[in-house]
Amino acid sequence: MTDLLRSILERTTYRKIDVDLLLDHERPSWVRFDPELGYVPADIVMRDGIDHCWNAYTHESSGQRKMLHYADQPCRINTYGDSFTQCQQVSDGETWQEVLAAHLREPIRNFGSGGYGVYQAYRRARRIEDTDCAAEYIILNLFVDDHIRSLDAARWIRTAWNERERPAEQAYPLHGLPWAHLRFDLARGEWVEKSSLCQDENDLRALCDKEKFATTFKDDTIVRLFLLENGGETDVSEFEALAEALGITVDLRNPAGRAQEAAKLHRHYGFKSTEFLFQERILPWLAQTGKKLLILLTYCQGTLTQFLRGEGRYDQDILDFLQSKNLLLVDMAEKHREEYSTFRGDVDQYISNHYVQAAGAAVFGHYTPKGNHFFAFATKNDLRKQLTPPPPAYRD
């Protein structure tokens, strides 16, 4: 094991103080352990909002975030995805789902969970849609990083490396726990769905040991690919075979550009996993159940800033794929560009109107209440045109 790899794994080993908090149901925690999904959201009040305010995260017994508008009415819309679906960094009533529900005059359930990838959101949807909370209309929110999250055995390794320091005596809100994930099996020449490395709480506690953690993840394909992205060294033959199998052109032999090429492979590996999910899992499931899908494409400050400055878009390949399937989608990058064209300030000023800086459990900043209001009304027309019969606010 190289020094850099050992450093990465030592710095990201789960801490006992954090795991103890997460597993102690007598104390509030941002999430709770789940052997399939890694974790699910839990009730907490966290100081992570605008003006350094405290936000309330409350959830119904069936798992969705607390419903305020028309909660006593039948619900036909369920939303799934990551923190931009959960609406991290705002309180319960400030989510885009609640803004939409108030306007459309019908309830919308929020099953988002901060940190989830496309695959984890799909797995949660399959779980929920087999319960009394099943809905006819499914909204799936895809954030730019969600595609590569589907590949992570434990996303924490990527997000906690070089993250802000965590005080030794203070518990930190964990995320990125081991979960069910996707990988392309070179020997079999096909995609495989892999179970979580932690099937119970004891498995998770065992990963608080640095040697156990290092042994578990040192040979992991995504961890080694992440190592290359950070300037480390490892055998690249597996990655060259993977790139060839997936039709991705990269040059990992040139040390000068290896980190950038590894990042390119990682990004497109994630996109390919999303293509597999839609073609082989999501679309067949929707066809079988008769559910209708609306896709939302969501962006953080950095990615959106680059787009508004004309520097291209990170997810062009996945956008092309979704459009080739004639799927109904709302591209928030374009929605923001339309609004920005009417704005007199610069890009940074525009972005600051909609986003709050990362705090609490957030790895990056999310929409403010004002940003969620914009998101809701940018989505409104595509959603209401899909609904049959129309929502109460639009019935003749």
Mean of the pLDDT values across residues 221-234?
A: 96
Angle between helices 301-308 and 332-340 (to 10 degrees): 60
% of the chain residues with pLDDT over 70: 99
pLDDT band at residue 206 under the 50/70/90 scheme:
very high
In order, the DSSP letters of 13-65 are SPPHHHHHHHH-TTS--SEEEETTTEEEE--EEEE-SGGG-EEEE-B-TTSSB
Lowest mean pLDDT among 89-103, 156-170, 188-202: 156-170
Query: Is the pTM above the cut of 0.85?
Result: yes
Q: What letter does residue 360 receive in the DSSP assignment?
A: T
Percentage, residues of the chain above pLDDT 90: 95
298: closest CA among 106, 103, 80?
80
Please give the pLDDT value at position 262. 98
Verify cis geometry, omega within 30 degrees of 0, for the bond prior to 389.
Answer: yes
The Cα 100–Cα 78 span in angstroms is 12
- The backbone torsions φ and ψ at residue 33, rounded to the nearest 5 degrees and listed phi first, read -60, 140
Using left for φ > 0, alpha for ψ between -120 and 50, and beta otherwise, residue 153 falls in: alpha
Helix (H) or strand (E) segment spanning residue 79 = strand 77-80
Please state, in angstroms and rounded to a whole number, the distance separating the CA atoms of residues 117 and 105: 30
For residue range 7-54, what is the model confidence (pLDDT) as tens digits?
999 999 999 999 999 999 999 999 999 999 999 999 999 999 999 999
Residue 166 is classified by DSSP as -
Angle at 114 (CA atoms; ends 111, 115), nearest 5 degrees: 125
**Which CATH number does 3-394 carry?**
3.40.50.1110
Q: Give pLDDT tens digits for 102-129.
A: 999 999 999 999 999 999 999 999 999 9
pLDDT, the chain, mean = 96
Q: Which uninterrupted H or E stretch holds 339? A: helix 332-340
Query: What does the buried/exposed string (b/e) look like for 309-338 if buried means 16 or more CB atoms within 10 Å of the residue's CB?
Result: eeeebbbebbbebbeeeebebbbbbebbee
- 321 within 8 A of 275, measured Cβ to Cβ: yes
- Return all residues near 223 (Cβ < 8 A) that are at least 6 apart: 5, 8, 9, 153, 157, 217
